[in-house]
Amino acid sequence: MEGFFCATDEVRRRERLPPFAISLWALDSVGDDYPDQIVPPQALRNPPSDSLSNQITYYLTRSVILLESPAQWLYKKMWRQQPGRLTTFHTRGPDPDPQNRVTLINSVDALGMRKVQLVWRLPENFELQMRRAHELLAQDLGRTGQGRLRIEPTATEHDPMKSLGNAHHHMGTTRMHNDARRGVVDANCRVHGIGNLFIGGGSVFPTYACDGPTMTIVALALRMSNHLKSALSS
């Protein structure tokens, strides 16, 4: 469990910032709980199917986390001194961009099906907005006497633009909008122009703001099921 600093809606509207959250991590623990994905050698990935290989990669990485966690906890409690410096972990969903999309290309796969191409880029003001979010946090930390925040990456040796990660939340490919020219599904998740085709998932959201979308997707699925039951009973 960890806490996050978030700005109020009023502050974000005034500063023209997207939803964001900032957490504080000890410099000597950055990455402890989030190891790089463990990928088996290609020779071990060839014999099984792609699906099985992906499952092995997924569960192997998480098994290592489970095995290491008790040892890391004990080490930190008994030997490691409290750090004098912290670093920030900033999370936010990129702004919706109509140029970000998944398209079909002319190349085909082994089954003769056209391959897909991902076009994705960060907003031009991404770094400026991230910096402004940290400035707001710095002001509050200083005002309350809780600490000081140094933002210059050359001084902290942690350049945020060189250590970007992603949460693998694929959003927006079937965006929800009542106008068929601007979205794929309507407010009830029905595909425009097709009476009995519905899509329920993260793809109908243009962005996930700054938190995991799982519970929102569950809520969407429940809402869509209620809509379908009402339509069938009427």
41 and 145 share one domain: yes
Q: Are residues 65 and 176 in the same domain?
A: no
Whether the pLDDT of residue 31 is over 50: the answer is no
Q: Is residue 135 located within the same domain as residue 25? A: yes
Task: Give the residue carrying structure tokens 């897909």.
Answer: 116
Residue 113 maps to a domain? no
**In this structure, are 4 and 39 located in the same domain?**
yes
How many Cα atoms are found within 13 Å in the side-chain-facing hemisphere of 234? 6
Tokens 């990455």 — which residue? 31
Rg, Å, the chain Cα set? 22
Q: Are residues 142 and 173 in the same domain?
A: no
Same domain, 26 and 130: yes
| 138 and 215 fall within a common domain | no
> Cα 218 vs. chain centroid, distance in angstroms?
17
User: Token pair of 181, please?
Assistant: 């020219």
Angle (CA) 79-84-86 rounded to 5° is 105
97 is a domain residue: no
Do 68 and 162 lie in a common domain? yes
- Tell me: the pLDDT tens digits for 140-178? 988 888 888 888 766 666 677 777 777 778 788 899 999
**What does the angle CA 176 – CA 181 – CA 187 come to, to the nearest 5 degrees?**
25
Residue 20 domain boundaries: 1-92+123-166
Q: Burial, 47: exposed, middle or buried (Cβ in 10 Å; 0-12, 13-18, 19+)?
A: exposed
The answer, yes or no, to whether residue 138 has pLDDT greater than 80, is: yes
- The span from the CA of 167 to the CA of 128, in Å, is 21
For 111, which DSSP code?
A: T
Over residues 41-76, the pLDDT tens digits come to 666 556 666 666 666 666 676 676 667 667 666 666
Q: What's the distance, Cα to Cα, between the start and end of the chain in Å?
A: 46
Sign of the C-alpha dihedral, residues 59, 61, 64, 65?
negative
Residue 116 and residue 51: Cα distance in Å, rounded?
A: 19
Q: Are residues 29 and 86 in the same domain?
A: yes
Kindly state whether residue 211 falls inside one of the protein's structural domains.
Answer: yes
* Count of structural domains within the chain: 2
Q: Does some domain include residue 229?
A: yes
Q: Where are the beta strands (DSSP E) in the chain?
A: 20-26, 86-92, 101-108, 114-119
Q: Region 178-201: what's the mean pLDDT? A: 94
Residues, the chain? 234
**Is 137 or 147 the better-scoring residue by pLDDT?**
137
Tell the burial category of 172 from Cβ atoms under 10 Å away from its Cβ (0-12, 13-18, 19+).
buried
